[in-house]
Amino acid sequence: MIHDLLYKYLNNEASEEEVLQVFDWIEKSDKNKADFIQLKKLWVLSVPNSNAKNLYDWNLIKAQIPLPKKKFYSKTLKYVATIAIVFASLGYLTNVYFKADKKESIELKDYVVLEKSSGKIEYISEKSNKNIKDSLGNIIGKQTNKELVYYKNSAIKTVTYNTIKVPFSKTFKVVLSDGTTVHLNSGTTFTYPEQFNVANTRKVILKGEAYFEVFKDKNNPFIVEANDVNIEVLGTTFNVSNYEDDNFINCVLTEGSVRLSEKENQENSIILKPNDKVTWQKNARNFTLEQVKPYNYAAWINGELVFNKESFNNIAKKIERYYDVKIVNKYPFLGSQEFTGTIKIKEKDVETILDLFKLDTPFKYTKNNSIIEIYNP
């Protein structure tokens, strides 16, 4: 019955065979097609609002918008006049910046982006050195080439968040105001407080991959939020990988001790010792533990790609991020082949790397701009 099929299809429950039947029906007459279009339009507009509070998603948004003005008003009276003026001009600045953002977004996509809590966006040039200021014009840090260092300023009590976005094919390093060093890998978004509020835990949000050297501070635990998983540490060195297009989140500990827990079920947790690698499977929602050589997972901060019995498909994902290319593998046999080795990324172009793999398992490929297609030999 076609109506059951349409229902299944719109519910994303139909098998490929059934979808074929749906399209046969749609193509049978213009009337069918028009009806289907009308049906799908209603369908997509009638998604009822979920009762679940998307707190995490809201926090992501909140971290990227300016703080409400109220918090600033609580300061002493003598600042009020100055603050009012700053806010007046801030609105203007924000507008100007967004216009610039829209117009130049294509050319600027290769830059590291710093989003300030004020909504202001700065593009970071690797060749420049400059001071970073907060919304009141105070110098809060300094950028030197591929590194951004925040100064500690215990006079600032409010927590405002900044976000750094590292594009594919670039890496970046940030030293937070508490002295913690974070190496950011390609295609990573990292949200962190401009200043850590003394009274609170040190909390940051990671999407992508980063290597953390956390400054020891027993009284203020450091928490990395990686989607469904929280990583809580006291002072230690570890690597976290949390890419949207991977079906796992993993954490490898170099020294110290960290605790991972499921965000929505804190009791589902695991404590890591050095050389431990824990993997969170996004679908199964559980942790698995194995022993590894931590250097292999941190080698990227030195521009090296190390893999140990890893499938070509997994390695291809990493190559995509490092070289900002898209790899379409039409040779399944190659995809499942496992490789072990080290590649110095900065010294080689992507063609040289593919040629290396060809020595082991022959294949053909074409490269068209940033799209690489791989075929049977």
Should residue 40 be labelled a site residue for other proteins when binding is judged by CB under 8 A? yes
Q: Hey, which residues between 231 and 270 contact other proteins (CB under 8 A)? A: 244
Q: Considering the complex, state which of residue 163 and residue 236 has its C-beta at the smaller distance from other proteins.
A: 163
Token pair in block for residue 121: 């966006």
Nearest approach in angstroms of CB 282 to other proteins is 10
Residues 304-333 binding other proteins (CB under 8 A) are none
Phi-psi sector, 135: left (phi>0), alpha (psi -120 to 50), beta: alpha
Q: Which H or E run contains 114?
A: strand 112-115
Q: How far is the CB of 48 from other proteins (least distance, A)?
A: 4
Across-strand partners of 150?
A: 141
Stretch that binds other proteins, among 60-68, 151-159, 299-307, 341-349 (CB under 8 A): 60-68
Closest CB to other proteins among residues 3, 127 = 3
- Using the rule CB under 8 A, which residue among 18, 28, 30, 52 binds other proteins? 52
Q: How far apart are CA 100 and CA 217, in angstroms?
A: 41
Residue in 28, 29, 30, 37 binding other proteins, rule: CB under 8 A: 37
Binding mask 88-117 for other proteins (x = CB under 8 A): ------x---x-------------------
Task: By CB under 8 A, tell whether 159 contacts other proteins.
Answer: no
Q: Cα angle vertex 94, ends 90, 100, to 5°?
A: 145
Among 18, 19, 235, 324, binds other proteins (CB under 8 A): 19
Identify which of residues 50 and 336 has a Cβ nearer to other proteins in the complex. Answer: 50
Query: Judged by CB under 8 A, does residue 16 bind other proteins?
Result: yes
Report residue 205 as tokens: 């949000």
Coil, helix or strand for 35? Answer: helix
Structure tokens at 131: 């001071």
Q: Which of 18, 28, 29, 42 binds other proteins (CB under 8 A)?
A: 42
Q: Which of 119, 167, 179, 235 binds other proteins (CB under 8 A)?
A: 119
Angle separating helix axes 350-360 and 312-323, nearest 10 degrees: 170
Q: How many CB atoms lie within 10 A of CB 3?
A: 8
CB of 150 to other proteins, least distance (A): 24
Could you say whether residue 58 binds other proteins (CB under 8 A)? yes
- Nearest CB to other proteins, comparing residues 46 and 76: 46
* Closest-CA residue to 190 (of 215, 161, 222, 155): 161
Q: How many residues bind other proteins (CB under 8 A)?
A: 49
CB of 198 to other proteins, least distance (A): 23
Alpha helices in the chain (DSSP H): 2-10, 16-28, 30-45, 55-62, 70-73, 80-104, 294-298, 312-323, 332-336, 350-360
Check if the beta carbon of residue 264 is closer than 8 Å to that of residue 279.
no
8-state DSSP, 108? G
Report residue 141: phi and psi, to 5°: -175, 180
The DSSP bridge pattern shows strands 172-175 and 181-184 to be: antiparallel
**Cα 131 to Cα 125, 273, 322, distances in angstroms:** 13, 39, 28
**Interface with other proteins includes 68 (CB under 8 A)?**
yes
Q: Near other proteins by CB under 8 A, which window of 43-51, 128-136, 272-280, 315-323?
A: 43-51
**Contact range with other proteins by CB under 8 A, out of 42-50, 105-113, 198-206, 310-318:** 42-50
* Phi-psi region at 148: left, alpha or beta (left = phi > 0; alpha = psi -120 to 50): beta
Q: Does 67 bind other proteins (CB under 8 A)?
A: yes
Considering only 39-47, 175-183, 295-303, 307-315, which stretch makes contact with other proteins by CB under 8 A? 39-47
- Of 51 and 336, which CB lies nearer to other proteins in the complex structure? 51
- Return the range that interacts with other proteins (CB under 8 A); candidates 17-25, 289-297, 308-316, 348-356: 17-25
- Angle, helices 16-28 vs 30-45, to 10°: value is 120
Interface residues toward other proteins, by CB under 8 A:
1, 3-4, 6-7, 10-13, 16, 19-20, 23, 26, 35-54, 57-58, 60-62, 64-69, 94, 98, 119, 244
